[in-house]
Amino acid sequence: MVAILSRLFGLSNLELIEDAVQDTFLKASLKWRTKLPENPEAWLTQAAKNRAIDLFRQINSEKERHENLPASVAGIPHGSISREMNEYFLEHEVEDSQLRMVFVACHPVFAREEQIAFALKSISGFSLKEIAGALLQKEESIKKRLQRARKKIREQKIELVYPAPEEIEDRIAGVMQIIYLIFNEGFHSTKENRLISKDLCGEAVRLCRLMLKKEKFRSGSLYALFALLCYHSSRLDSKLGEEAAIDLKRQDRSKWYMPLIVLGNDALSKTFEYQDHSVYHLEANIAAEHIRAIRFENTNWPRILELYDEMYALLPSDNILLSKASIYLEIKDLKSAKTTLNRIDQSSLNQRAYLFHGCWATYFEKKGDLEKAMKEMDNAIELCSNQFEKNYLLEKKASMLEA
């Protein structure tokens, strides 16, 4: 609804448009208390149309706002705007409007944190409280980011249009990064009392699938990203125990959701139809190796190490080194694990620093140095912000002591 109304009234009126949509849902929450309409979506669409006409009158009655309206909207009579609204609510037009908004969210004029906040608010419909919770920020900080974004839209006269052909490639790269970040926040939630956020994961998958519907936006990288999201999403229900996280080794693989795995396999196969190559290809292939293993013991660790080596050559990071160190520990190559861990700058890991200490704890445990292992495990527990992950570390510490 926000995307459609923004096409009609212009992005410069975005805040007012969001208020109108909020009013529509508020009206629904009151009207539907005793009885749901036969077709809730149609009801919302009609209510949004009516509210849009009210919005048009409100904007048209004030000179300053009237001047900000796109030429195609200003002065449109009631019947005409209603007909245009009907056209905009056709399924293909809804998708087109949302895609335009996705590209606006990744406009280079926005800072990265503004892009993410704008995407979650204006495309995904998250509230300030939800965005703040998802990104582990204060509501006031998110509010300021959105205000800055809206100000830039007005000052830069940004319109709800697709980028110029020469800008498409860079902008799509930004879109994919936003989708990836949204999914990662859902898959590795930084919230204290929630391990995963299916809403964020689902929204990332939806946005990625929306991009793939347009042939001109398709690429090997976009298909690889979709495959990665499908593979990870298939494991969501197996990650969470009643009180603690469940690591990959102990997950019940029968709970992995096959329809998403099939979608992921199909998307990964389509990457071969394109010439581009990216970190998303490598991550998707790593996820695929885990999916292929019938049991944890059957995991093809040498192949996964090769993929991480390729990834590090393409985009060096301490997070990749941390993943490699974990694999070396799994295959009992303690010398390589220690060398790799010594290369890592802990400060660059931010909220993943607890995993760094967890790796050292495992290293010392395998070396037979229980005292150092306990010290590192305590460091990991102290730095871990998520209660489910913390409970997992506490269980691991207890098992070390019992061994």
When comparing pLDDT for 154 and 71, which is higher? Answer: 154
Q: What phi, psi does 240 have (nearest 5°)?
A: -115, 120
When comparing pLDDT for 309 and 175, which is higher? Answer: 309
> Stretch 276-298: mean pLDDT, rounded?
96
When comparing pLDDT for 352 and 360, which is higher? Answer: 360
pLDDT score recorded for residue 29? 92
Summarised one tens digit per residue, pLDDT across range 339-350 is 999 999 998 887
| 90 three-class SS | coil
On whether the pTM is more than 0.85, the answer is no
CA atoms within 13 A of residue 331's CA, in its CB half-sphere: 17
pLDDT score recorded for residue 51? 83
- Distance CA(331)–CA(337), nearest Å, equals 10
Of the listed ranges 63-67, 152-156, 198-202, 395-399, the least confidently predicted one is: 63-67
pLDDT score recorded for residue 76? 46
Q: 332: left (phi > 0), else alpha (psi -120 to 50), else beta?
A: left
pLDDT score recorded for residue 67? 53
Confidence of residue 147 (pLDDT cuts 50, 70, 90): very high
Confidence of residue 11 (pLDDT cuts 50, 70, 90): confident
Find out whether 98 and 123 touch, Cβ atoms under 8 Å.
yes
pLDDT score recorded for residue 119? 86
Confidence of residue 6 (pLDDT cuts 50, 70, 90): confident
- Distance CA(305)–CA(9), nearest Å, equals 52
> Stretch 55-76: mean pLDDT, rounded?
56
In this predicted structure, the answer to whether residue 88 has a pLDDT above a threshold of 50 is: yes
Of the listed ranges 75-89, 153-167, 220-234, the least confidently predicted one is: 75-89
CB burial class (10 A; 0-12, 13-18, 19+) of residue 394? middle
When comparing pLDDT for 176 and 62, which is higher? Answer: 176
Summarised one tens digit per residue, pLDDT across range 93-127 is 777 888 888 888 888 899 888 888 888 888 877 78
Would you state the structure tokens that stand for residue 233, as one six-digit string? 């999403």
Q: Which of 159-168, 205-214, 226-235 has the highest mean pLDDT?
A: 226-235
> Stretch 146-153: mean pLDDT, rounded?
92
pLDDT score recorded for residue 79? 52
What average pLDDT does the structure give for the chain? 86
Among candidates 162, 167, 280, which has minimal Cα distance to 223? 280
Alpha helices in 10-62 (DSSP H): 14-31, 40-60
Confidence of residue 66 (pLDDT cuts 50, 70, 90): very low
Of the listed ranges 73-87, 263-277, 365-379, the least confidently predicted one is: 73-87
pLDDT score recorded for residue 133? 67
Tokens 């489910």 belong to which residue? 388
